[in-house]
Chain A
Amino acid sequence: MRALLSALILVILAAVPVLAQQGGAPAASPNFTENLDIGISTDEIAITSDFTGADLTIFGAIDGVDQDILAEGKYNIVVALEGPKENATVRKKERVFGIWINTQSMTFELVPESYSLSSTRDVETIAPTAEMNTMGIGINHLRLTPTGYIGDGSNLTEFRDAFRQLKQASGIYQRDPGGVQFISSSLFKATVRLPANVPNGVHIVRAYLFREGHFVKAKALPLRVVKTGLEQAITRAAYEMPFVYGIFAVFLAVVTGWLASVIFRRRD
């Protein structure tokens, strides 16, 4: 009986702040005074081939803030590192005559190849879902626009979910609720993860400021990720001079085979 009573009290206590929030929610005001700025120490990151992932720290400042709202922790910051955008095709396997075959596919238009998200708290609780969807902030809210014929679109959700799940499973899409921390009342530090398989190219660091569940301001900075070293030189050659690369591959094979026959013939 006592346990039940205490449980009841807990429920009531938990409900109180919710009630308070609902009562005191202000209407959205379009003229925010807040400003947001971010900076990174470099606009280019060179990655060697033995790269196993690293953290990128982004510093930022907000000014023109309402100190009361700040003290209540109702300012929220989201920082995202978006990789280069490309079309991505999701395929689904089905069993046909006992064999698993790719039967359906859906291509999404220009989605970031990688996506690392960091925020002051879980993005799902920062602003209403509708607002996050319009802004395309967060793995679950990224715009996934299918291209081509998709039928009645009944499997759209299924393929979108599969895409998000696959990207997160491979670690190329990540999120860190709590990766953004206030250092002082106006300064913050955000840590985003560069996965080991971070793609080459121009990434964009995007920072968003929210106040009491409403979007206030955004800032973006480009960040070039360049892979260096022999492996990268090979990749570049393979894609930029494929014909020469192919001839070189054959040349290497001919020399290897020939050398082996010469070396081993002398020994006999």
Chain B
Amino acid sequence: MTVYLPIAELSVNIFVILGMGAAVGFLSGMFGVGGGFLITPLLIFYNIPPVVAVATGANQVVASSISGAISHFRRGTIDIKLGSVLMGGGLVGATIGVWIFAWLRRLGQLDLTISLMYVLLLGIVGTLMLLESIRALRRAARNETVTLRRPGQHNWVHRLPWKVKFKKSRIYLSVIPVFALGFGIGILTSIMGVGGGFIMVPAMIYLLRIPTSVVVGTSLFQIIFVSAYTTIVQATANYSVDIVLAFLLMIAGVIGAQYGVRVGQKLRGEQLRALLALLVLAVGLRLAIALVVTPSNVYSVVSEGIGF
């Protein structure tokens, strides 16, 4: 059964899209990640134009993050003040990101930039995850207990000016690194269609030394607002949000995520993380190959439609 995607302007098999959404939803539920960094490359592999894949990915992230954010809000594990500073940076970053996006599109370098950024990001994240999970597996084999670095320790980040008290997090921290982190993630959201949780969570824990109890909820809080904002700006500036595609991905994704969470609770974390790391690396490698392999046609044509 095929369905026509009005913005991507192509007919796709509805079950392939639903399957993709469910699979990524399942993985995101299992590992507690947003899944944006997997869904966008998968859409590109399925010949969805990168422009549409990225903007639609941002829309999908809103749906996949909202239920997590709701439960964190109920449990009171969101630092609204900290989240708002992150969000402020995120909104500025997303605005600039969408502007860069439109500029690259005019230059004809958008597809390349998206692919390159994904290769870089998936390569780094995949490698770090793999190393970390291998270390964890070794530790588990030696029966050692995992000791997290104490969040009380200070580093250069804590010597920056404009310090503000974040009550919920019980931390006294400069707004500069928080805003900068939000800003960077905002740019990634708009150019790559990711929520950015997989970067933000470790950065908040290891760099900003924010207590882990509020990290996930606060990052979800900022992701929702920044990805919602990105969706609206992408729709307004680039006309590239495909609501049919987004809806199919959302439906399959949120259902897949619920099952993923249940399976994830039963399985061992280190092995799962190693598997996810391999998956991330495989997707990155596939994108890298596409950049290097001689294209079937070195020419391409675009009509300057109403979108310009």
Chain A residues with a Cβ under 8 A of chain B: 49-50, 86-95, 98-102, 105, 107, 113, 159, 162-163, 165-167, 169, 197, 231-232, 234-235, 238-239, 242-243, 245-250, 252-254, 256-258, 260-261, 264
Contacts and interface: CB of A to CB of B under 8 A. Distances in A.
6 contacts: A49-B6, A89-B108, A91-B108, A166-B299, A234-B7, A250-B59
B301 A93 contact: no
Nearest to B255: A260
A252 B300 CA distance: 34
Given A88-B304, A245-B235, A260-B255, A238 B250 contact: no
Contacts of B233: 246
A80 to B, nearest CB: 18
Interface of B: 4, 6-7, 9, 59-60, 62-67, 70-71, 108-109, 112, 116, 228, 231-237, 239, 241, 243-244, 246-247, 250-251, 254-255, 257-258, 291-295, 297-307
B108 A249 contact: no
Contact of A238 (B7, B257, B299): B7
A257 B63 contact: yes
A246 B298 contact: no
A96 to B, nearest CB: 10
Given A86-B305, A88-B302, A238 B62 contact: no
A245 B243 contact: yes
Contacts of A258: 66-67, 70
B304 A87 contact: yes
Given A234-B244, A260-B258, A254 B7 contact: no
A102 B300 contact: yes
Contacts of B71: 261
Given A231-B244, A242-B235, 15 more contacts: A89-B304, A91-B108, A91-B300, A93-B298, A93-B299, A113-B303, A166-B299, A238-B243, A246-B234, A247-B232, A249-B59, A249-B235, A252-B243, A256-B247, A260-B63
B232 A239 contact: no
B301 A88 contact: yes
Given A90-B299, A162-B299, A253-B59, A50 B4 contact: yes
Contacts of B237: 242
Nearest to A111: B303
Contacts of B70: 257-258, 261
Nearest to B261: A264
B295 A260 contact: no
> Closest 4 CB pairs between A and B?
A257-B66, A246-B235, A261-B67, A246-B232
B11 to A, nearest CB: 8
A113 B65 CA distance: 40
Contacts of A235: 6-7
Nearest to A51: B4
A239 B291 contact: no
A99 B289 CA distance: 9
A90 B304 contact: no
Contacts of B298: 92-94, 100
A146 to B, nearest CB: 13
A91 B67 contact: no
Which one of A90, A91, A98, A197 has the highest number of Cβ atoms from chain B below 10 Å of its Cβ?
A91
